[in-house]
Chains A and B, each alone.
Chain A
Amino acid sequence: MSVGEYREGVRLEHPWASDYGDPTNSPVKTSDRIFYALAAATAASLLVSIYFIAWRAPVEATMGIVQKIFYFHMPCIYSMYVGALVCMVGSAGFLFRGTQRWDSLARAGGEVAVVMGFMMLATGSLWARKAWGVWWTWDPRLTTALLSVLVYVAYVVLRAFAGGGEGEKKFAAALGVLGAANLPIIHMAVKKWGGTHPSVVYNKGGGLKHPDMINALLLGLFAFSLLTALLVWLRLRQDAARARLDESEEDATMLGLLEE
């Protein structure tokens, strides 16, 4: 039964609730089918990526087997950038339009940026332990990356505990837009300030020399692109379900079925 059937002449269904798929409705909608297809494609691509990294990509001469961390470390960075950009776009959209759709998009992007950011820091730290002999060093790129992750942690904490008022949402949206300003600084940190962090992808004459190494990286990037899209969509579905619940509860309260 659709929420839109509650009262004659009044469409109660949230206008954008079905856009990202409706986990509460049956039969299965087209958007749900696409969502589950995306989930299956993500799982398959991650498995192929792991196979390629473990069995096809050769062990690097200098670093040894620990270099294979890079094939997930780099996609984590990329996914954090994507999550942060989604957060920025959603936040900017909310500031201009003020609709729930943009706010949900920003929130989803912020949470994905935090998860991917932590994965980036953890995998990088493990690699650094072998490469540099330390878990952490205040290298310019590492420091700016940590700063960026902390900005998005602040964003998520703000959204979780500051309430759902318009003022709080606007403040969070401003943080979501300003948080993205640090992304180009992370990217340019190695060029501007040097440091010990290697520049593999843009390093002329260095980097990944074997074709299977490049393939492993490209597969990782593809798999994490799908994973990022899936996580953002999953979070949007949650917000869609909440929006539907809020409207249903409001309607039930009007009918005296629920207390205020």
Chain B
Amino acid sequence: MAQTPDPNKPTTDGASPGPSTYESAPAAGVTPHPPETQSGETLLVVAYMLVWVAVVAFVVAAWRRTRGLEGRLSAVERALEKSRAAQVPSTKRSGASEE
């Protein structure tokens, strides 16, 4: 990453504290967080965990919704099948009487 800034030097884009901030004493109750305090290993593990949690959550949610639909569809299909089975003998009886 050629354009990556030096990790030991905080950027001066306004969002990050400038060098003078580090030299000053922190305000009461505020703990300064220079970049060195964050372990690269921890950040890496958290990043990969977030990726997997997001993917698994999406898949599980979609799968459960599909299963729910499948259950309802099976119930409706069974009801329709029963109804159709009940209609067939009556149709046959009416056809025989017409003959």
A interface vs B, CB < 8 Å? 1, 3, 6-7, 23-24, 50, 60, 62-70, 72-73, 76, 111, 115, 118-119, 122-123, 126-127, 129-134, 136-139, 196, 198-200, 203, 205-207, 227, 231, 234-235, 237-238, 241-242, 244-245, 248-249, 251-252, 255, 257-258
Contact = CB atoms under 8 A, between A and B. Distances in A.
A71 to B, nearest CB: 10
Interface of B: 1-7, 10-11, 13-17, 33-35, 38, 40-41, 43-44, 46-48, 50-51, 54-55, 58-59, 62-63, 65-66, 69-70, 72-74, 76-77, 79-81, 83-84
Nearest to A238: B66
B80 to A, nearest CB: 5
Contacts of B10: 132-134
Q: Which 9 pairs between the two chains have the least Cβ-Cβ distance?
A: A206-B2, A66-B40, A133-B35, A137-B15, A133-B10, A241-B69, A198-B3, A134-B16, A248-B76
A194 B62 CA distance: 40
B40 A196 contact: no
Contact of B73 (A134, A199, A206, A241): A241
Dominant SS among interface residues on chain B: helix
Nearest to B15: A137
15 contacts: A66-B40, A123-B51, A126-B44, A129-B38, A129-B43, A131-B5, A133-B10, A133-B33, A134-B16, A138-B14, A196-B11, A231-B58, A241-B70, A245-B72, A257-B83
Contacts of B66: 23, 234, 237-238, 241
Dominant SS among interface residues on chain A: helix
Contacts of B77: 1, 3, 248
Contacts of B59: 231, 234
B2 A131 contact: no
A199 B59 CA distance: 32
